[in-house]
Copies of this chain bind each other. A is one copy, B any other.
Amino acid sequence: MRNVVIIGVGLIGGSFALALREAGFDGAITGVSSPATIAEALRLGVVDRGAPLEEACAGADLIYLAQPISRIIDVLYHLNPCVPAGALVTDAGSTKHRIVSTAQEHLTRCRFLGGHPMAGKELRGVGAADALLFRDRPYVLCPSDPAELDTEFVGWLGKIGARVVVLGAEEHDRLVAFSSHLAQLASTALAATILESSPESTQVAGPGLVDSTRLALSGYELWRDIFATNPAAITEALTAYIGKLEHLRENLRNRELAAEFERAAGLARQIRGQADRA
């Protein structure tokens, strides 16, 4: 692996480039992004050069797609003629089924391996890129065949400190519908409910509400593509959550609530235990 191309040099793409360098990669890293982003990425030493898509992909060993989901899908429609037959294309999109099936249909000249690093920051853009972003974080890979994992790219994921988790694309989308997409909608709905039904409540807001509304700060533009490409699993998760809230409402004053609190605290501790081990 000598020539790496990062398409979309933002927080994730830029962090992947920095992490590769930090882990000892000494090949070339080419960025494909807007002129302003490429200028900043060059200034920060994130990429070695910028180039248009076709020029960048000629001679590439690894092509890393790190744009929003809809842009990744657009690129996959048009990438096939540009890629060398020996290249590996991978992506970092937040949903996988639509991306993986688009790649299977349109990317016939080279290999594809869908991915999703479970890492992020409140800040976006190449200015926030961080060589340690993936360290000790899950990095989901969705191979169509387990043999696809036997690549130099997967070896580099280990070297940058990521914890590889292998899932089917549809399985991935269902799991993140609960762990990520439902958590986002629960936080957005909480903030929107308070604003609509009891805006004066902000004067008695405590630290718990600050935690519970952190995700509500997220911008919609990041989420539009996720809702568009994972609606069935998100609808299932929302329906399960609404059912649980109705159950809590019906049992507000009896011991059933004690059991729900105990189970919920167990899961919350489990998540933290994984974070601590990580």
A→B interface (CB under 8 Å): 118-120, 137-138, 140, 165, 167, 172, 174-180, 182-220, 223-224, 227-228, 231, 234-242, 244-246, 248-249, 252-253, 257-258, 260-272, 274-275
Are A220's CB and B190's CB within 8 A?
no
Give Cα A180 to B214, complex, Å: 15
Of all chain B residues, the one with the shortest Cβ separation from A190 is: B186
Are B257's CB and A227's CB within 8 A?
yes
Most buried by B among A205, A215, A262: A205
Known A-B contacts A179-B206, A206-B119; A218 and B271 likewise in contact (beta carbons under 8 Å): no
Are B213's CB and A245's CB within 8 A?
no
Closest Cβ–Cβ distance, residue A178 to chain B (whole Å) = 4
Which residues from chain B contact A248 at a C-beta distance below 8 Å?
185, 188-189, 238
List 8 tightest A-B contacts by C-beta distance, closest first: A191-B264, A220-B261, A179-B201, A178-B198, A213-B268, A216-B268, A178-B201, A216-B264
Chain A facing B: main interface SS: helix
Are A234's CB and B252's CB within 8 A?
yes
Give Cα A209 to B133, complex, Å: 17
Closest Cβ–Cβ distance, residue A89 to chain B (whole Å) = 22
Known A-B contacts A211-B215, A214-B268; A176 and B204 likewise in contact (beta carbons under 8 Å): yes
Are A182's CB and B174's CB within 8 A?
no
Are B210's CB and A272's CB within 8 A?
yes
Which residues from chain B contact A200 at a C-beta distance below 8 Å?
175
Give Cα A129 to B158, complex, Å: 45
Which residues from chain B contact A210 at a C-beta distance below 8 Å?
271-272, 275
Give Cα A186 to B238, complex, Å: 12
Which residues from chain B contact A172 at a C-beta distance below 8 Å?
204
Are B191's CB and A268's CB within 8 A?
yes
Q: List 24 A-B contacts (CB under 8 A).
A: A118-B206, A178-B194, A179-B194, A179-B198, A179-B209, A180-B209, A183-B212, A185-B245, A186-B186, A189-B260, A190-B264, A193-B244, A195-B264, A197-B236, A197-B240, A205-B271, A205-B275, A210-B272, A210-B275, A219-B261, A223-B261, A224-B257, A235-B249, A242-B245
